[in-house]
Amino acid sequence: MALLVIHTGGTIGMVQTDQGFAPSSGVLETAIEALQSAGDVTGQVEVRAFDPLIDSAQATPVDWSKIAATIHESYEQFDGFVVTHGTDTLAYTAAALCLALRGLIKPVIVTGAMLPLTVEGTDGTRNLRDALRAVTEAPAGVWVQFAGNLLHGGRVRKSHSHAFDAFEAESAPTPPAIPAEVFTLDQVGDHRVGMVSITPGTCAELIGYAAEVCDGIVLRCYGSGTAPETPALRAALSQAQARSIPVVAVSQCAEGGIRLGTYAAGGILRETGVIDGRDMTPEMAYAKVQFALSLFDSIDAQRDYLTTCQCGEYTAA
């Protein structure tokens, strides 16, 4: 087995500094050597590290592209891929890799840690070992290995800010990969996508500004897909519609998703062309809008892409 580890940074490979935890080179490589010496990991493992390593708070769609392109370029040389990543934006990257690697027939396992490998009691050793094992056994697709769980990369979200068991995902019958005859890389650019929330007394001017300056919007609505009927919100959403930019609605509830049409109070969304994001995570919706904008020029084609289940990212009706 030949495995490629793409080390982007994150807590897993950090050391304690005067300013707090910061990425440090060599930490991950040393841990992998220790796992190999202990016989916990077999096979050939190559590590390619970001230079500089980043805290995932710094990640942008350019970094998603860099990881996806590395997998694409080295696809024939390796049997599977592990991506070590900071946990803060790990769910966005996992979603993006699901969308970028069309026709993936090998496993890609994304992992990280809540405590650095250099700190006593770290969860990093377990996650790294589990990821290096999962990559030899898991079905094709992009998975997140964390705290003993193998989670769907297109549905995962960070649900706890400091517990070891920090990630959750709805299970899905569809594996986290876009089926295709030929393995291809869908490139993603860095578009201006805004994520805005509806709140009691919504500041509609903020949504209006997003409608003016953004290329796409993820709108976090209430429950099953409701929002207040106000002239200012209607004007803001109509402005987005007039500019032909995609607006995808997702729920502020962690489970269940939206169903536009359940309540009359969702009328404002339907009437202004807002796209039903169903039970996609906000992270997936954000990544999907970035890809829709990168792959298609027209709002109709973007809408088709956004309303098609690509890789099990929402529950089919």
Closer residue to ligand ASP (CB): 60 or 230: 60
Give me the least distance between CB of 120 and ligand ASP, in Å please: 17
206, containing H or E segment: helix 204-213
> Whole-number minimum distance, CB 5 to ligand ASP, in Å?
16
DSSP string, 121-138: T-SHHHHHHHHHHHHHHS
The one catalytic residue in 8, 11, 111, 281 is 11
Q: Is 37 helix (H, G, I), strand (E, B) or coil?
A: helix
Residue ranges in 86-123 assigned as alpha helix (H): 90-100
CB 11 within 8 A of CB 128: no
Minimum CB–partner distance for residue 123 and ligand ASP (Å): 10
Per the structure block, which two tokens stand in for 280? 């996609």
| 110 or 218: CB nearest ligand ASP | 110
Distance CA(146)–CA(155), nearest Å, equals 14
- Nearer residue to ligand ASP within complex by CB, 95 or 269: 95
Sites of contact with ligand ASP (CB under 6 A) = 10-11, 55-57, 86-88, 112, 114
User: How many CA atoms lie less than 13 Å away from 205 in the CB half-sphere?
Assistant: 0
**Residue 30 known to be catalytic:** no
The DSSP bridge partners found for residue 84 are: 7, 111
For residue 245, what are the CA distances in angstroms to 113, 154, 170, 208? 37, 23, 29, 13
Nearer to ligand ASP, 27 or 204 (CB): 27
The pairing of beta strand 141-146 with beta strand 149-152: antiparallel
Which CB sits closer to ligand ASP, 210 or 287? 287
Q: How far is the CB of 22 from ligand ASP (least distance, A)?
A: 10
For residue 113, the minimal CB distance to ligand ASP (Å) is: 7
Distance CA 96, CA 303 (A): 18
For the annotated catalytic residues, the residue numbers are 11
